[in-house]
Amino acid sequence: MDIIISIIYIILFIIMMIFVFSIGMLKQYMPKKEVLLVLGVAFLIGCIGGAFFLEPVYQDLPEVLSLVEKNMPNNEETLYLDVSSSVDINELIRTCEATEGFKSFKETSISIPMWKFDDTEKSYFEFVVGNIDSGYKSYNVTDSTIEIELKDNYSATSALKSFSDWYKLVYGGSISYAQVHSELVVDSSQLDTFEDILLQRGIVASDMEGPVQERINQTNSSMLSDIEFTLACGGVGVIVAILGIYIESVVPAYRRFKKSMNEKRKR
């Protein structure tokens, strides 16, 4: 949320609390039994103000606190990407490498969805996949997917091409879709820039590790739920109303206390 909008929302909530305070000050003109009504109204106004004005600001708290980690030198974030084979991986790598804050890009594995294997087909693939390409570090055949881990510095494009060529030779068809799993390491201060680059290509990190994500996770785990936060704001409204109700008795008492303290000092 924009900082100006956040400030406006906070000011609007303060204005609502001033209104609640003013209602409390009218207590001397009301019957005593109306005090509970005042407190009820104060709670309702606090809840409404919290839900509409403070909650959007509160939800942005993790991102605000993560700004500290983003501006710490030498902090790095690792983004785990699951990219469709239809995306130009080489173009993505070139763009990332040319962007300030780039650290590394590593293609770790590929997943190729197939049909539902029977036992014979599964056994066949388990036997043959390891012989297709020497760039395959390891592989796993599930009931309907072939997952291949790549050796270091071996590209997913080459791995997919070798499998596709073998598949076409054996089955006469082509592989229409596969998923490339990779790891992008960037400077924390440039995280937003790289997220924008990925988003422009329809890519969102499936997971992320680093100081920024850790701060976000820690903040999220300690935050109140939406209902709890709204009720807490209602409680603030009640406290403000009570201050308004008793302000006329508190201020004179404070003045008497201050006067007595001054007299003691003079002695």
Convert the pLDDT of each residue in 124-167 to its tens digit.
Answer: 999 999 889 889 999 999 999 999 999 988 989 899 999 999 99
Which pLDDT belongs to residue 12? 93
- Among 56-65, 74-83, 161-170, 201-210, which is the least confidently predicted range? 56-65
Tokens 């739920």 label which residue? 225
pLDDT exceeds 70 at position 25: yes
| Beta-strand relationship, 136-141 and 145-150 | antiparallel
Convert the pLDDT of each residue in 161-220 to its tens digit.
Answer: 999 999 999 888 888 889 999 999 999 989 999 999 999 999 999 999 988 888 888 888
> Who has greater pLDDT, 68 or 81?
81
pLDDT exceeds 60 at position 263: no
In whole angstroms, give the CA distance from residue 256 to residue 250: 10
Q: How confident is the model at residue 254 (pLDDT cuts 50, 70, 90)?
A: low
pLDDT exceeds 80 at position 78: yes
Residue type, 221: S
In the chain, the percentage of residues whose pLDDT exceeds 70 is 91
- Among 43-52, 130-139, 225-234, 251-260, which is the least confidently predicted range? 251-260
Burial class (CB in 10 A: 0-12, 13-18, 19+), 179: middle
Which pLDDT belongs to residue 179? 93
Residue spans of the domains in the chain: they are 3-66+221-266, 76-209
> 160: how many CB neighbours lie within 10 A of its CB?
19
pLDDT exceeds 70 at position 257: no
Q: What is the mean pLDDT of residues 43-67?
A: 89
Which pLDDT belongs to residue 14? 94
- Among 83-87, 118-122, 243-247, 253-257, which is the least confidently predicted range? 253-257
pLDDT exceeds 90 at position 64: no
> Who has greater pLDDT, 164 or 249?
164
**Against a cut of 0.95, is the pTM above it?**
no
pLDDT exceeds 90 at position 65: no
In whole angstroms, give the CA distance from residue 130 to residue 128: 6
Among 226, 196, 201, 181, smallest CA distance to 57 is for 226
In whole angstroms, give the CA distance from residue 202 to residue 221: 28
Taking all residues of the chain, what is their mean pLDDT, rounded to a whole number?
A: 87
